Amino acid sequence: MRTEVSELSPSDCELLLASLDVGRIAVVDDGYPLVFPVNYRLTEFCGNPVIAIRTRPGNVIDHPGRAVCLEIDGVDASHDGGWSVLVRGVLAAVPPDPDRDSHPIDCYERDAWLIVVPTRVTGRRVLNSTLWSFHPAGYL
């Protein structure tokens, strides 16, 4: 069995980021790395692609100026392969906007909007060159 790893192009990374809305954000807090699931949206701010997230004010994520990573991935279990995209960047605050801020999730007090301003976006795809004719989960 041979496994191949290939780099994803920036446009492929952007397409994958646009296709999902849940990822994991990583921050360092008190000297320890922490990873949290977040809902996100790929959008534009000042003409540049950014990742917008909504969180509770004052929590461990709500620190503009902090370096972060956002990671998304996908798995093709039937072919023992998958992909991942990693966005490295800096958190920035987004000014309040009454039109944007009215949302059913308001009842959860998630009214701090942040964006991840990317400094580097990378991705890779892992492919197994042996195509399986069955789904491995059927044999577990």
* Domain boundary assignment for the chain: 3-130
In degrees to the nearest 10, what's the CA dihedral of 15, 17, 22, 23?
Answer: 140
Q: Across the strands, what pairs with 61?
A: none
Tell me which residue of 48, 46, 47, 38 sits closest to 113, measured CA to CA: 38
Q: Would you say the pTM of this structure is higher than 0.85?
A: no
Half-sphere exposure of 106 (CA within 13 A, CB side): 7
pLDDT tens-digit profile of 11-42? 999 999 999 999 999 999 999 999 999 999 99
The pLDDT confidence band at residue 105, using thresholds 50, 70 and 90, is: very low
pLDDT tens-digit profile of 69-97? 999 999 877 667 889 999 999 999 987 66
pLDDT score, position 107: 44
E-strand stretches of 11-111: 22-29, 32-45, 48-55, 67-76, 81-93
| R_g over Cα of the chain | 18
Distance CA 18, CA 38 (A): 14
Identify the CATH assignment for 3-130 out of 2.30.110.10, 3.40.1170.60, 3.40.50.10800, 3.40.50.1240. 2.30.110.10
pLDDT score, position 11: 95
Q: Which of 20-29, 101-110, 116-125 has the lowest mean pLDDT?
A: 101-110
The Cα-based distances of 80 to 6, 85, 113, 123 in angstroms read 15, 18, 37, 17
Is residue 51 within 8 A of residue 118, CB to CB? The reply is yes
pLDDT score, position 132: 54
How many CB atoms lie under 10 A from the CB of residue 131? 9
